[in-house]
Amino acid sequence: MPKKTTIYDIAKELNITAATVSRALNDSPRVKEATKELIIETAKKMNYEQNKLAQALKSGKSFNVGVIVPYINSNFFASVIRGIEEELYPKGYHVIICQTHDQENLEIENITSLLNAQVDGILMSISNSNIENNTTFKNLLKKHVPLIFFDRKKDIKGVSSVTIDDFKGAYLATQHLVEQGCKRIAHLCNDRSLEIFQNRFLGYKQAILDAGLEFDDRLVVETVSKVDEARKSAQKLLNLNQRPDGIFASCDFSALGAIKEIKGNDLRIPEDICVTGFSNEPFSQFMELSITSVDQSPLEMGRIAANVFLDEVQNSAKIKSEKQVILAPELIIRKSSLKSILINQ
């Protein structure tokens, strides 16, 4: 096995001290730029690799960042992770990805494991189970590890977050259904103990009231983000004496389930029932009946969350900053809801 190049080998090659080589490789201002460039070029030629563990121990940083999401196989969360990586990799950070499968015990285990791995920060979207006991988060903050929430969050003092305006997104989607002539607009909602789904419900309800329509809680049916479960929930709406003529679903998978059930009952979309979703998943635009949806800008969300983290770790004053970044939603109108105007897609 070939011997690894050390700073002493580089020092011997250039006839300088090992301390000077070390300072240059760590970008110390005490080394002249010309000398620094020579040392770095020589290190490359000699295939020198820095000892990351030693570097971490010396700097107090691991240059690892934990990212916790409910599911990795979601386009939304995959796009957020991509945005985080695009910002952090050029800064020398590596991303450790964990998923909770929306289970509280896995969420706690992930946080504990990342802390044991000495990560420099944790960026996360909380699970549907929504940890009620804040002990885990309090312990994290006591260790002075930056915590940034994205998409799904908890309101914890001193913790930054990057989210979308879920209220406005739901309002826009419901308002659009009103503009298409819908009078009985239903809502397939997810677990409203989570702030994002509660805000989507409130946005839907406010748009109904602002349009002068009657709010009917029988038109609000809770479901989960799975197509088959959403079909069952949509069937409950279709079984009402007065079925809805519009459905706003809190996620695209629920919207897809509703569309399948509506078609299964020989009803037309959008002529009989208009449907809108939320998240702008890729399948929503590529279906024969494309789905109107609210875009959440996941790539931008990931990039901003990464930069919020970088701002916190670069804060030499160690003053705990709290940023609440709220992105504007965009309604992408497609065939599933557009009755008034014919479109070509």
CATH code, domain carrying 130? 3.40.50.2300
> Measured between alpha carbons, how far is 209 from 202 in angstroms, rounded to an integer?
11
Q: Which residue has the higher pLDDT, 50 or 324?
A: 324
Residue 205 forms part of a structural domain: yes
Contact 252, 284 (CB under 8 A): yes
Answer whether residue 240 is part of any domain. yes
Say if 284 falls within a structural domain: yes
- Does position 79 have pLDDT exceeding 70, yes or no? yes
pLDDT reported for residue 163: 96
Query: What pLDDT shows up at residue 31?
Result: 86
Closest CA to 338 of 177, 185, 187, 207: 177
pLDDT at 307: 96
| Residue 248, helix vs strand vs coil | strand
Stretch 82-98: mean pLDDT: 93
What's the rounded Cα separation, in Å, for the pair 71 and 73?
6
* Residue 21 pLDDT level (bands cut at 50, 70, 90): confident
Compute the distance between CA of residue 220 and CA of residue 108 in angstroms, rounded to an integer: 32
Q: Are residues 171 and 279 in the same domain?
A: yes
Residue 87's domain comprises 60-164+298-328
- Answer yes or no: is 286 within a domain: yes
Same domain, 235 and 302: no
**284 and 141 inside one domain:** no
The SS3 assignment for 228 reads helix
Mean pLDDT of 275-294: 94
In-domain check, residue 150 = yes
What are the distances in angstroms from CA 315 to CA 277, 308, 318, 320, 321? 40, 11, 6, 9, 9
Choosing from 254, 276, 296, the residue where a domain stops is: 296
Predicted confidence at residue 46, as pLDDT, reads 87
* In a shared domain, residues 181 and 253: yes
> Residue 97 falls within a domain, yes or no?
yes
Q: What is the mean pLDDT of residues 106-122?
A: 91
DSSP secondary structure, 20-49, as one string: HHHHHHTT-TTS-HHHHHHHHHHHHHTT--
Tens digit of pLDDT for each residue in 199-251?
999 999 999 999 999 999 999 999 988 899 999 999 999 999 999 999 999 99
313, 283: one domain: no
Distance (Å, whole) CA 181 – CA 78: 36
What confidence score (pLDDT) does residue 104 get?
Answer: 85
- The pLDDT, as a whole number, for residue 343 is 43
CB 165 within 8 A of CB 130: no
Position 345 confidence tier, pLDDT thresholds 50, 70, 90: very low
Q: Are residues 185 and 278 in the same domain?
A: yes
**Residues 171, 191: one domain?**
yes
172 and 261 part of one domain: yes
Distances (CA, A) of 226 to 130, 135, 187, 202: 19, 31, 15, 22
198 domain-assigned:
yes
286 and 303 both lie in a single domain: no
Query: Predicted confidence band at 139 (pLDDT cuts at 50, 70, 90)?
Result: confident
> Is the pLDDT assigned to residue 14 strictly greater than 80?
yes
Question: 3-state class of 216 per DSSP?
Answer: coil
Query: What is the phi-psi region of residue 230: left when phi exceeds 0, alpha when psi lies from -120 to 50, beta otherwise?
Result: alpha
pLDDT tens-digit readout, 287-340: 989 999 999 999 999 999 999 999 988 875 555 567 899 999 999 999 999 986
For residue 341, name the pLDDT band (cuts at 50, 70, 90): low
Question: What confidence tier does 344 reach under pLDDT thresholds 50, 70, 90?
Answer: very low
- Angstrom distance (rounded) from CA 323 to CA 30: 36
Please give the residue that has the higher pLDDT: either 141 or 162: 162
Q: Quick one: average pLDDT of 79-89?
A: 95
pLDDT at residue 130 tops 60 = no
145 shares its domain with 206: no
pTM of the model: 0.81
Q: Give the chain's domain count.
A: 3
pLDDT at 26 exceeding the cut of 70: yes
Q: Do 186 and 284 belong together in one domain?
A: yes
Q: Per the domain annotation, does 154 fall within a domain?
A: yes
CATH number of the structural domain spanning residue 39: 1.10.260.40
Indicate whether 184 and 285 sit together in one domain: yes
The residue that leads in pLDDT, 106 or 129, is 106
DSSP output for 259-277: HHHHHHTT--TTTT-EEE-
